[in-house]
């Protein structure tokens, strides 16, 4: 097993067969060795810094029907809300006061927000906070919309590929197309966005082969950011009785992603923090280097319910900011409140 880790560390790649073998034969000793190397690679690339992004979950309406997600259109029990542009700007102001210089605007696929509205919103944020980065995570739109939003000043776009397995993707996304997801990611990259892809770990039916394909897809796409989190069931979805992903498996995939795509920014996700009180700290120690605390108004937090038992539903933005600083320091890292652009994008400037 060690020879795989050393080869991956030296070359940044393994074959599909090697990854599958590795995942299927991982013992505690090799896991620790893997984390030692992914940590080493992270220190080499980004030092001990952890970048903080302010996450604004601005709409819980969604026209899609992903089987795993509490916001899916068929979930009649979901409480829906929308923040208007002024409310979103107010969240950015609060975030700016707290030191954030990246705002991540995330929502269900909600076409109530027209191309014009989103364009004006991005322009307004960039006009008020010209040195901040704006990240969008609003799902699939057309190329013209993506181009206009980029021209308006949006810097980054997060769109997880969710799973590299076509079969699994199609089973989980009755209203979506595997090919279109990938086309969107390519398009966003070509337009000039820093892009974030990523996947869930522990999806029902997911195999070691599928996870190997996730890593190989990421290696080929070479995104600036990689979001990896455990699947967690939501009570009002068809997957309510499915087993959640584990913290251990998620940490292994984070560590492998760090070694496959060393320059990537990798968040310690809210989902891993929701499964385990120490999940985010463990993710940072496995190779993650970003945390995205919530800046949404506390009054809407619990309505953005993707999965059961999500954390930070009652805490004000300032509380999470403070809490995370302590957690990051206690895990042995230091907070960086800068824009935190990816190494790849800095090289291209
Ligand atoms: N609607 C946009 C999209 O799908 O790209 C952005 C928001 S969506 C809620 C953000 C991410 O949440 C998805 O990419 C998915 O990986 C994750 N997610 C949704 N339901 C989840 C669940 N039950 N467990 C873990 N992650 C989940
Ligand atoms: Fe909608 Fe995104 Fe949830 Fe799918 S994952 S139902 S697109 S919010
Ligand atoms: Fe929200 Fe700890 S990060 S309370």
Determine which residue's CA is closest to atom 4 belonging to ligand 1.
Answer: 139
**pLDDT tier at 348, thresholds 50, 70, 90:** confident
Q: Choose which residue among 60, 160, 195, 247 to substitute to test ligand 1 binding: the one with the highest number of ligand atoms within 8 A of its C-beta.
A: 160
How do residues 321-344 score in pLDDT, each as one tens digit?
999 999 999 999 999 999 999 998
Determine which residue's CA is closest to atom 12 belonging to ligand 1.
Answer: 306
Mean pLDDT of the region 279-301? 97
Residue 315: per-residue pLDDT: 93
Beta bridge partners, 291, equal 52
**Does the pLDDT of residue 79 top 90, yes or no?**
yes
Token pair in block for residue 290: 């970003």
How do residues 45-77 score in pLDDT, each as one tens digit?
999 999 999 999 999 999 999 999 999 999 999
Residues belonging to the chain: 349
> In terms of C-beta distances under 8 Å and separation of at least 24 residues, what long-range contacts does 278-282 make, across chains too?
279/247, 279/250, 280/324, 280/327, 281/327, 281/328, 281/330, 281/331, 282/247, 282/251
How do residues 15-27 score in pLDDT, each as one tens digit?
999 999 999 999 9
Predicted ipTM of the assembly: 0.99
Domain ranges of the chain: 2-348
Mean pLDDT of the chain: 97
Determine which residue's CA is closest to atom 3 belonging to ligand 3.
Answer: 320
The alpha carbon of 283 and the centre of ligand 1 are apart by a number of angstroms equal to 18
CATH number 3.40.50.300 is the correct assignment for the domain at 2-348: no
**Does the pLDDT of residue 168 top 80, yes or no?**
yes
């Amino acid at each position: 097993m060690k020879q795989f880790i050393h080869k991956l560390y030296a070359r940044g790649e393994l074959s599909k067969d090697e990854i599958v073998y590795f995942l299927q034969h991982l013992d505690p000793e090799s896991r620790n060795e893997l984390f030692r190397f992914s940590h080493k690679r992270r220190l080499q690339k980004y030092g001990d810094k952890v970048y903080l992004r302010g996450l604004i979950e601005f709409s819980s309406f969604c026209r899609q029907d992903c089987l795993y997600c509490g916001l899916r259109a068929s979930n009649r029990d979901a409480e829906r809300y929308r923040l208007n542009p002024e409310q979103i700007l107010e969240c950015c102001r609060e975030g700016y006061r707290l030191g954030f210089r990246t705002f991540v605007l995330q929502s269900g696929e909600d076409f109530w927000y027209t191309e014009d509205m989103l364009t004006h919103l991005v322009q307004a944020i960039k006009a008020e906070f010209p040195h901040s980065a704006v990240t969008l995570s609003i799902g699939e739109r057309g190329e013209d919309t993506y181009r206009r939003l980029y021209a308006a000043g949006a810097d980054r776009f997060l769109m997880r590929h969710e799973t590299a397995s076509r079969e699994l993707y199609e089973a989980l996304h009755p209203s979506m197309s595997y090919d279109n997801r990938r086309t969107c990611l390519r398009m966003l990259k070509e337009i000039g966005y820093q892009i974030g892809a990523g996947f869930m770990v522990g999806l029902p039916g997911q195999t070691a082969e599928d996870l190997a394909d996730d890593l190989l897809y990421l290696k080929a796409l070479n995104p600036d950011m990689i979001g990896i989190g455990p699947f967690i069931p939501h009570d009002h979805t068809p997957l309510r009785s499915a087993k959640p992903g584990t913290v251990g498996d998620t940490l292994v995939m984070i560590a492998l992603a760090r070694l496959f795509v060393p320059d990537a920014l990798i968040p310690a996700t809210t989902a891993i923090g929701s499964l385990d009180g120490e999940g985010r700290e463990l993710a940072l120690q496995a190779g993650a280097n970003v945390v995205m605390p919530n800046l949404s108004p506390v009054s809407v937090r619990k309505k953005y319910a993707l999965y059961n038992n999500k954390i930070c539903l009652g805490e004000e933005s300032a509380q999470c900011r403070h809490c995370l600083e302590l957690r990051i320091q206690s895990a042995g890292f230091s907070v960086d409140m800068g824009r935190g652009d990816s190494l790849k994008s800095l090289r291209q400037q």
